[in-house]
């Protein structure tokens, strides 16, 4: 008998069936995927240059233009998660030595500043404590002092539950010769945003929050001003995969024949298309109202349980993700574990600067329902009784 050359046996875990329990995902994302989107993602593959796939990509582009409220030609989905869109935005906009200003009031500003520094940009951080937002005055002061070419700011700060007001920000940036880059991964579809009217130059989001698709594709759009800055680059973007020139061509945004750039995650695009279709069918205004109403019900219920909302000003609360202070005498890890083990509900602790300070509850897209609010409040009430007892 021939001696096998294999030194590594087949892994035991892979010889067992895939295990995926049922859970209600009420953390800051991903959110549950409804059957229609699951079905779309499990359709048979087509080739990435087949006309039917290019047609789906065109429909995604139109869906993003609707969700973003933009007519920008350079609108597409990145083959990657929200971080990938963040990198794509920054690495296409910024060149070595470019002054950039990053509004940091939670983890997303911290990450954007990290990425911008890796690109060799001259990064200035505009700081606010977690739980607070930036005023036009804060931003103007920074623009005058640092003269950045790009300002990064987060619309839905999911690590702290803050909704950043955007009114007037684009106009202000443009008066100071700066482009406005906005992260709307956690807020798109859950809170109003108007890319063109608010003069946002680059806007990106993710698939796995309000759009209820699996993670792995990320809507993004660039204004004419942003496109012009990219055209003026002296150096090529430092990533081939995320080079907007190539992606614009593959997505049919440059008027030229489409060329192969990478093999698109076709099934992710099918799912994203359905997520955008469901948003289009519901209508943005209905979606915003649904998130507002369920968030208001949740906030009231949390207060009724004696819990304290982390974001004090009501208008600054993100309708998709609510942060509540960890109550005195409890360990946040025990509470999240209790909900998972006893109620099959995921909620999350803090992230970055909010670790140990908050619990975060997400109600996004199809998960934003009154009955889910009731379920999570009941589970929390149970946890508040049981987790305290276990500590005495
Ligand atoms: N920005 C914000 C505001 C987010 O909430 C997230 C995800 N939690 C990201 C960026 C990063 O997205 P992803 O995890 O899909 O890479």
For residue 390, name the pLDDT band (cuts at 50, 70, 90): low
Ligand 1 centroid, distance to 364 Cα (angstroms): 14
- Where along the chain do its domains lie? 24-30+283-386, 35-280
Query: Does the C-beta of 81 come closer than 6 Å to ligand 1?
Result: yes
Q: Is 317 annotated to bind ligand?
A: no
- pLDDT tens-place string over residues 163-211: 999 999 999 999 999 999 999 999 999 999 999 999 999 999 999 999 9
Cβ neighbours for 62, distance < 8 A, ≥ 6 positions apart:
none
Task: Classify the phi-psi angles of 343: left when phi > 0, otherwise alpha if psi is within -120 to 50, otherwise beta.
Answer: alpha
What does the pLDDT read at residue 1? Answer: 62
Segment 41-79, tens digit of pLDDT:
999 999 999 999 999 999 999 999 999 999 999 999 999
Of ligand 1's atoms, which has the minimum distance to the CA of residue 157? 3
Whether 35-280 and 24-30+283-386 are alike in CATH topology: the answer is no
If you average pLDDT over residues 80-91, what whole number do you get? 98
Any idea which architecture 24-30+283-386 has in CATH? Alpha-Beta Complex (3.90)
Question: Is residue 392's pLDDT more than 60?
Answer: no
Beta carbon of 158 within 6 Å of any ligand 1 atom = yes
Share of the chain above pLDDT 70, in %: 99
DSSP letters spanning 172-209: HHHHTT-EEEEE-TTTBTTB---TTTTT-SEEE--SSS
Model confidence at 388, in pLDDT bands (50, 70, 90)? Answer: confident
Ligand 1 centroid–CA 11 distance in Å is 32
Q: How many helices (H) and strands (E) does the chain have?
A: 12, 14
d(CA 368, CA 365): 5
- For 310-319, b/e burial (b = at least 16 CB within 10 A) is bbeeeebbbb
pLDDT at 275: 98
pTM, two decimal places:
0.97
Residue 77 near residue 217 (C-beta atoms within 8 A): yes
Please give the share of the chain, as a percent, with pLDDT higher than 90.
98
- Which residue's alpha carbon is nearest to atom 2 within ligand 1? 185
Ligand 1 pocket test, candidate residues 90, 162, 186, 193, most atoms within 8 A of CB? 186
Nearest atom in ligand 1 to 84's CA: 16
Long-range Cβ contacts of 15-19 (<8 Å, 24+ apart): none
- Altogether, the residues listed in the chain come to a count of 392
Q: Pick the residue whose CA is nearest to atom 12 on ligand 1.
A: 82
Asked if residue 183 has its Cβ within 6 Å of ligand 1, the reply is: yes
35-280 maps to CATH 3.90.79.10 = no
Give the pLDDT confidence score for residue 3 in this predicted structure.
Answer: 85
Q: What is the pLDDT of residues 271-318, one digit of tens each?
A: 999 999 999 999 999 999 999 999 999 999 999 999 999 999 999 999
């Amino acid at each position: 008998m021939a001696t096998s050359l294999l030194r590594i046996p087949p892994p035991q875990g892979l010889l067992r069936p895939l295990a995926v329990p049922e859970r209600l995902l009420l953390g800051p994302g991903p959110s549950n995927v409804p059957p229609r989107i699951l079905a779309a993602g499990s359709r048979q593959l087509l080739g990435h240059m087949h006309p039917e796939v290019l047609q789906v990509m065109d429909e995604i582009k139109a869906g993003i233009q609707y969700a973003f409220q933009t007519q920008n030609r350079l609108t597409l989905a990145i083959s990657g998660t929200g971080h990938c869109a963040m990198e794509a935005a920054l690495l296409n906009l910024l060149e070595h030595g470019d002054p950039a200003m990053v509004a940091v009031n939670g983890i997303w500003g911290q990450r954007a500043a990290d990425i911008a520094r890796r690109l060799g940009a001259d990064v200035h951080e505009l700081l606010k404590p977690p739980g607070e937002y930036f005023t036009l005055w804060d931003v103007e002061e920074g623009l005058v002092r640092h003269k950045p070419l790009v300002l990064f700011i987060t619309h839905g700060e999911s690590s702290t539950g803050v909704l950043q007001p955007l009114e007037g920000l684009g106009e202000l940036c443009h008066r100071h010769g700066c482009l406005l880059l906005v992260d709307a991964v956690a807020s798109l579809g859950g809170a109003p945003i108007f890319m063109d009217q608010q003069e946002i130059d680059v806007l990106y989001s993710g698939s796995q929050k309000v759009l209820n698709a699996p993670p792995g594709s990320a809507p993004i759009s660039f204004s004419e001003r942003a496109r012009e800055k990219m055209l003026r680059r002296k150096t090529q973007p430092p990533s081939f995969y995320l080079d907007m020139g190539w992606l614009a061509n593959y997505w049919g945004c440059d008027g030229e024949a489409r060329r192969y750039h990478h093999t698109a995650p076709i099934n992710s695009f099918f799912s994203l298309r359905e997520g955008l279709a469901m948003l289009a069918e519901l209508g943005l205004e209905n979606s915003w109202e649904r998130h507002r109403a369920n968030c208001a019900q949740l906030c009231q219920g949390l207060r009724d349980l004696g819990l304290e909302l982390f974001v004090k000003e009501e208008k600054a609360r993100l309708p998709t993700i609510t942060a509540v202070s960890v109550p005195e005498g409890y360990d946040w890890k025990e509470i999240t574990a209790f909900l998972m083990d006893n109620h099959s509900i995921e909620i999350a602790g803090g992230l970055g600067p909010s670790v140990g300070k908050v619990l975060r509850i997400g109600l996004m897209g199809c998960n934003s329902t009154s009955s889910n609010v009731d379920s999570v409040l009941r589970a929390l009430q149970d946890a508040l009784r049981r987790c305290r007892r276990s500590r005495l």
